Amino acid sequence: MNGRITTLNRLQRGIVPLVLLAVFALSPLVLKQYALILLTNTFMYIILAVSWSMFSGPTGYISLAPAAFFGAGVYTSAVLGFALPFPLIVITGGLASFCMAFLVGALTLRLRGIYFVMFTFGLVELLLNFVLWWEVTVTGTTGRVVPPLGNTTVFYFMLAILACLLLTAFRLKHSKYGFALQSIGQGEEAAAHTGIHVTALKMNTFALSAFFMGAAGVVMATRWTYIDPRIAFNPTLSFLPVLMAIFGGLGQLYGPIIGAAIFTYLEEFLITRFPYHYMLIFGITMVIAIRYLPDGLVGLVQKAWKQWSRRKHGAAQG
Amino acid sequence: MEEYGRKLPVELKRYDDKSDIGTMANLIEKLILEDKVDFLFPPWGTAWLFAAAPIANKYGYILIGGPGGALKLKQIDLPYFFQVLNFSDTQAPALAEIFEEVGVKTAAVVYRGDLHGIEYGEAMVPFFEERGIEVKMKKSYPPGIKDMSSLLKEADGLNVDAFVAACYPDGGMMLTSQSMELGINFNAFFMTVLPFSPSLFKGTFGERGVEGVMGGGAWNAKTSPGARDLVDKFVNLFGEEPDYWGGLYYWASLQHFRQAIEKAGTLDQKKIRDIMASERFDTALGPYWYDEDRYFVNHPGEIGQWQKGVFEVIDVGEKRTAPPLYPKPPWPKKK
Amino acid sequence: MMVTILDIIIAGMLLGGIYALIAVGLSLQYGVARVLNIAHGEFIMLGAFITWTLYTAFGVNPLLSLALCGPTLFLIGYVLYIVLFSRLRVRAASPGAYEGNSMLACFGLLFIIQNLAILIWGADIKGYSFFAFPVDFAGARFAANRLITLGFAIVIGLVFYLFLARTRLGKAIRASAQEPEAAGLMGVNIDRVLALCFGLGALMAGLGGALISMSYKIQPTMGLEYTMIALIVIVLGGLGSIPGSFIGGFLLGLVGSIVTYVEPGLALVAYYVIFMMVLLLKPKGVLGK
């Protein structure tokens, strides 16, 4: 009996995402080309922000390595080109990032707090400079041409990665591992005492989050068509997902999604209206968000909702 | 020519390589798909051009390659892409020819680790060697390098006649000021991207500081009546001299473009493209046309040298506006 | 003139002096105020551009500008701390959360300052010639302006160290760094002291920027490069240690000079390899226990 109710609940809960997926899957039929491009871009940022918060949200480890994992995917795309069927390249790129993140995770086990932040950012710069040197002295070039795919194809691949990611992130959050990650964030020693394999869990989650970043990098490279180390390992792609996630709020899965969507739209709006002041306004928004929205946008809305319902409740009583 | 439309990607120039290629790709598609502009103008810089050209081509938009560009673009088939500037394949032999004429025997080549640097760095060596100039040193340096004194000292130690750098303005400024500070003077001092800019180069180091420095480019007011006209117009409008690498070329390419549009009598990209690809028109650079690869080839070479405040063209042949100054005079003594 | 070992060592020292000076400020800001100031390089850039403007527009001697850049940047830093960081600190759930949030706020500041500078000065490279002549020393040859920069960097660092070690204020700062609660009990206004530290960090950045403008070309986007170098140096020397910053600075300068001589393309790679090795193997710095 109980079992049937949960199944029903699950079904109901599953319907909303499925409908959304269907809507997005059909959108290329009605949307204009440029709207599709923008949507693809938004998806990319959502993938980066959500996969970032999958690990960093509960554990509190701020990783500035997204650009490294994304860049690994971009380079996979450029190096493999047409050598493999595209879906295989996407998976290869994801796996490359997965392995790299696993290695980084193994190396940085002892690093906490700001040391972890600095290490992950150092990783981006190291890869950038090393690949630059490698391309200049060993392969004798720095730019690579990536075989382009159509806008619609790129859109569907991005959508597929996003769907897989959201499913994974949701399942993880509501599994025993999700709770274990949360307890790591509250205190690693205490978590270890309750019988959690802290090390294995941290490394696996970190690597899993990198998989999606790498896969997104593979797909995005086909849109950019020309890449070099500076484009692939662009440090901005490390900062932006972090900001988007924090701006949206880390408490809920939809926080980073909303954050990324708003940021992408804001960027598009500002860069066309205020090309000369866009980064300035962007910086100001960032500072204000951190200064006044400690729990992100979602936290703000929740707080407002609580206050409103309490008032309503109080009024009904009085 | 009122229908030029907006050209937002140009704004990205301000952030140069710090900005984001994904954003630029989006903006170009926005211009084409959303704003439905009639004509498209390119972003600044070799890597940007490389990324923009295939997109414009995909939608059948003419793109005239302005600042930047690379030989590698030739390998991709882009029927709507037109290339204006000279590259390593014409500038390197022109430089080698000048070096041979003035008697350069040995050279050191340093190049920036990027598309531009590698292309020039690689291209120059065979042309030098073909003319009996020995390349005693060839090294790349990374963008963002903070100290180039060891490169200069090494070249100085090898006693080379010519120091050749395939650089961007950041490295070029550092090379110039460090060789001044160290009192290292070469008989010939050539840099690709920097000397052509009067405001940046002459403005920073002064007329005496830049005397005898050679650079990629080049043209000046003496090149043609149209060139003099352009310099006058530019100085009137902006209060400073134009850049002596691309300025005249872009101007001429626009004059050519305009006549092609007028002749087509339509905004149809395909018709204009076909006229551009086949017809010759008269411009400030003289007769102007593109070859079968859609490269502007009528003015190959073009090496400049600062002489008494003028960026003289010193190519061997009729384009020369002044003979090369060799050896380069020593850097000015500090008062 | 051949490149000798002496050449390489002195070039490393000249580079190291600047590295050390820009790291001291960041070290103080992180060591005491717990702000990992990613916008440190933007303060350096401001110092450099103020000096450049004063020199090219009014002919003010860059060494005189030092006296102006320092206090101006100090004021900016002090006010920023009071307005922004003290609030973040009070509100933060844990020290870790504060470090994270304040670092992200610094990213915002980076964009703001950098783009204001682009609006004011334009995005082009700028520079001027100051003491641009060679000095010969034991067969090695160097630029006079870089020697001046090194001399000032050492003097400024020494004065700063004495200030922290000998004065009452300096002792209050060190007390706050070690035991914030105890310092608060002893009647030290902790917010004021932390603001002072952040301001002093900005002051050091301003001085560093002024010195940098004498021998390097400057650009509004130059900041992050210097921030990264300062970060590497303070990790090398141990977070929060002033003498450590100096040793780290000279060490990194030396490495840079040697690698640049052998293979210029690998200079930055070497920096980051060292950075990450130190983080992994000796996170307390090469001198740390």
**Bigger pLDDT: A213 vs B82:** A213
Q: Are A73 and A215 in contact (CB under 8 A)?
A: yes
Contact C3 B157 (CB under 8 A): yes
C123 to chain B, any CB pair closer than 8 A? The answer is: yes
Q: How many CB atoms lie within 10 A of CB C281?
A: 9
d(CA C200, CA C220): 22
d(CA A190, CA C250): 42
Average pLDDT in chain C: 88
Question: Rounded to 5 degrees, what angle do the CA atoms B264, B268, B272 make?
Answer: 45
**Bigger pLDDT: C124 vs B307:** B307
Of C30, C100, C115, the CB nearest to A279: C115
pLDDT for B69: 59
For residue A226, give the chain B residue with the closest CA: B51
Contacts of B159 (CB under 8 A, 6+ apart): B106
Three-state SS for C286?
Answer: coil
Q: Where are the beta strands (DSSP E) in chain A?
A: 144-145, 226-227
d(CA B150, CA C261): 6
* Chain A / chain B CB contacts < 8 angstroms: 88
Q: Are B40 and B62 in contact (CB under 8 A)?
A: yes
Question: Rounded to 5 degrees, what angle do the CA atoms C39, C44, C50 make?
Answer: 125
d(CA A258, CA B195): 49
Lowest mean pLDDT among A243-252, B152-161, B203-212, C266-275: A243-252
CATH number 4.10.320 given to A36-317: no
Q: How far is CA B70 from CA B46, B115, B128, B307, in A?
A: 7, 8, 20, 29
pLDDT for B7: 42
Contact A118 C100 (CB under 8 A): no
Domain map of chain A by residue range? 1-30, 36-317
Q: How many CB atoms lie within 10 A of CB B151?
A: 26
**Bigger pLDDT: A315 vs B64:** B64
Give the best-scoring range by mean pLDDT among A183-187, A275-279, B12-16, C90-94.
A183-187
Contact C125 B169 (CB under 8 A): yes
Q: Are C246 and C24 in contact (CB under 8 A)?
A: yes
Average pLDDT over residues C75-93: 90
Chain B nearest CA to A269, separation (Å): 11
Give chain A's residues under pLDDT 70: 1-13, 142, 294, 314-318
Contacts of B145 (CB under 8 A, 6+ apart): B171, B174, C260, C264, C267, C268
Q: For chain A, how many helices (H) and strands (E)? A: 14, 2
Contact A107 C107 (CB under 8 A): no
Contact C272 A129 (CB under 8 A): yes
Q: Name residues 168-227 of chain C within 8 A of B (Cβ).
A: 215-217, 219, 221, 225
Beta B162-166 vs B134-141: how paired, if at all? Answer: unpaired
d(CA A271, CA A274): 5
Identify which of C42, C72, C70, C51 has the alpha carbon closest to the alpha carbon of residue C220.
C42
Helix (H) or strand (E) holding C135: strand C134-137
Query: Which of A136, A230, A238 is the best substitution to test chain B (most B C-beta atoms within 10 A)?
Result: A136
User: In the 8-state DSSP scheme, what is residue C265?
Assistant: G
Work out how many domains chain B is built from and give that number: 1
Peptide bond before residue C93 is cis, with ω within 30 degrees of 0: no
**Is residue B185 scored above 90 in pLDDT?**
yes
User: How far, in whole angstroms, is CA C20 from its chain's centroid?
Assistant: 7
Domain assignment present for B147: yes
B307-334 pLDDT tens trace = 999 999 999 888 899 999 999 999 987 6
The label of the residue with tokens 């028109």 reads B281
User: How far, in whole angstroms, is CA C71 from its chain's centroid?
Assistant: 15
- Domain hosting B102: range is 88-218+302-313
Chain A residues whose beta carbon lies within 8 Å of the beta carbon of residue C110: 283
Chain C nearest CA to A48, separation (Å): 17
B16 to chain A, any CB pair closer than 8 A? The answer is: no
Contact A291 C84 (CB under 8 A): yes
pLDDT for A251: 77
Contacts of B112 (CB under 8 A, 6+ apart): B140, B141, B142, B143, B166, B167, B168, B171
Band the pLDDT of C208: cuts 50, 70, 90: very high
d(CA C4, CA B112): 24
pLDDT for C73: 96
| Tokens of residue C42, six digits | 């933007």
C96 to chain A, any CB pair closer than 8 A? The answer is: yes
d(CA C76, CA C203): 9
Domain assignment present for B14: no
pLDDT for A12: 66
pLDDT for B12: 41
**Is residue C169 scored above 90 in pLDDT?**
no
**Is residue B301 scored above 80 in pLDDT?**
no
Print burial letters for B165-197: b (CB count within 10 Å at least 16), e (below 16).
Answer: bbbbbbbbbbbbbbbbbbbbbbbbbbbbbbbbb
d(CA B163, CA B173): 14
Contact A126 C109 (CB under 8 A): no
d(CA C259, CA C270): 7
Alpha helices in chain C (DSSP H): 5-31, 40-58, 62-80, 86-91, 95-121, 144-166, 168-178, 180-185, 190-215, 223-237, 242-262, 267-281
| Tokens of residue C134, six digits | 């060679």
**Is residue B14 scored above 60 in pLDDT?**
no
Phi, psi for C51 (deg, rounded to 5):
-65, -45
Query: Which of C112, C228, C236 is the best substitution to test chain A (most A C-beta atoms within 10 A)?
Result: C112
Identify which of B114, B228, B103, B111 has the alpha carbon closest to the alpha carbon of residue B175.
B111
Average pLDDT over residues C106-124: 91
Q: How many CB atoms lie within 10 A of CB B23?
A: 18
C58 to chain B, any CB pair closer than 8 A? The answer is: no
d(CA B282, CA A199): 72
| Tokens of residue B256, six digits | 């050519």
Torsion sign over Cα B252, B254, B255, B260: positive
User: In the 8-state DSSP scheme, what is residue C218?
Assistant: B
pLDDT for B11: 42
Band the pLDDT of C277: cuts 50, 70, 90: very high
Three-state SS for C94?
Answer: coil
Average pLDDT over residues C235-240: 86
**Bigger pLDDT: B220 vs A13:** B220
Question: Rounded to 5 degrees, what angle do the CA atoms A109, A113, A119 make?
Answer: 65
Dmax over CA atoms of chain C, in Å, equals: 63
Judged by phi (left if over 0) then psi (alpha if -120 to 50, else beta), residue A95 lies in alpha
pLDDT for A261: 93
3-state secondary structure chain B: CHHHCCCHHHHHHHCHHHCCHHHHHHHHHHHHHHCCCCCCCCCCCHHHHHHHHHHHHHCCCCEEECCCCCHHHHHCCCCCEEECCCCHHHHHHHHHHHHHHHCCCEEEEEEECCHHHHHHHHHHHHHHHHCCCEEEEEEEECCCCCCCHHHHHHHHHCCCCEEEEECCHHHHHHHHHHHHHHCCCCCEEEECCCCCCHHHHHHHHHHHHHCCCEEECCCCCCCCHHHHHHHHHHHHHHCCCCCCCCHHHHHHHHHHHHHHHHHHCCCCHHHHHHHHHHCCEEECCEEECECCCCEECCCCCCEEEEECCEEEECCCCCCCCCCCCCCCCCCCCCC
User: How far, in whole angstroms, is CA C112 from its chain's centroid?
Assistant: 19
* Chain B / chain C CB contacts < 8 angstroms: 108
d(CA C43, CA C37): 10
pLDDT for B68: 63
d(CA A177, CA A163): 20
Chain A residues whose beta carbon lies within 8 Å of the beta carbon of residue B33: 32-34, 37
B84-107 pLDDT tens trace = 877 788 889 999 999 999 999 999
Q: Name residues 78-117 of chain B within 8 A of A (Cβ).
A: 113-115, 117
Contact C280 A107 (CB under 8 A): yes
Helix (H) or strand (E) holding A160: helix A151-173
d(CA C85, CA C109): 12
**Bigger pLDDT: B251 vs B109:** B109
Q: Are B276 and B62 in contact (CB under 8 A)?
A: yes
Of B144, B151, B170, the CB nearest to C217: B170
d(CA B171, CA B205): 15
Band the pLDDT of B9: cuts 50, 70, 90: very low
d(CA B146, CA B140): 14
Contacts of B113 (CB under 8 A, 6+ apart): A132, A133, A135, A136, A142, B140, B141, B142, B143, C265
pLDDT for C143: 87
Average pLDDT in chain A: 86
For residue C278, give the chain A residue with the closest CA: A119
pLDDT for C186: 66
B223-236 pLDDT tens trace = 888 889 889 988 99
d(CA B153, CA B215): 21
C31-72 pLDDT tens trace = 888 898 999 999 999 999 999 999 999 999 999 999 999 999
